[in-house]
Chain A
């Protein structure tokens, strides 16, 4: 157990809808990253938040957005869902300390877009 939790575990949406996924970071971690993992692929970096500000973004369109709250929990929002958004969404928390720190991953949310 990493201490990182995600909700919901599974979700089914239809094309065009909006979805919000949630992540609760490990205690004391001030950084959260989100990844998308399509079936049979490695996780792809979406973005990272550090102290409530976006701290880096991968090759994902603006309809993917996020929030980090003062208690360091986080949300991933996806608007105008497309079929290709079907994937496992993983969040990972870490402590930013000027170097590289291990990221601890949650169990993921499985999103299916019909």
Chain B
């Protein structure tokens, strides 16, 4: 059974700081890994999807890396802004190959202070 863990559970940083969020998974036979952002009481916004054959994926100030063999991914946020404050979730799909079931971590609650 796939389990996804995110560390830290919460993070508070001053504006402008670079930061790293961590995600680990127990079953390394994944097709991809996805990072989402969730604002309070809202749905999920997909930030980055890394295919299993990729090592990194970048979008603006966000950079996600994937190390399948060690079961880890990191989300790097450069020059953080108060608007980045949200919960960040990582998720991996089931390894059965069919297009369903994402397993999520509990998320990291990020607060960027002005």
Which residues from chain B contact A41 at a C-beta distance below 8 Å?
Answer: 106
B interface residues, Cβ below 8 angstroms from A = 4, 31-32, 34, 36, 41-46, 49, 89, 91, 93, 98-107
Which residues from chain B contact A104 at a C-beta distance below 8 Å?
Answer: 46
CB of B81, distance to nearest CB on chain A (Å): 21
Cα–Cα distance between A101 and B98 once the two chains are bound (Å): 10
Contacts A40-B106, A42-B89, A42-B105 hold; do A90 and B43 have CB atoms under 8 A apart?
A: yes
Interface centre among A43, A97, A104, A108 (most CB of B within 10 A): A43
Partner of B99, one of A43, A90, A101, A106: A101
CB of B17, distance to nearest CB on chain A (Å): 25
Question: Which residues A1-33 have CB closer than 8 A to chain B?
Answer: 2, 4, 6, 31, 33
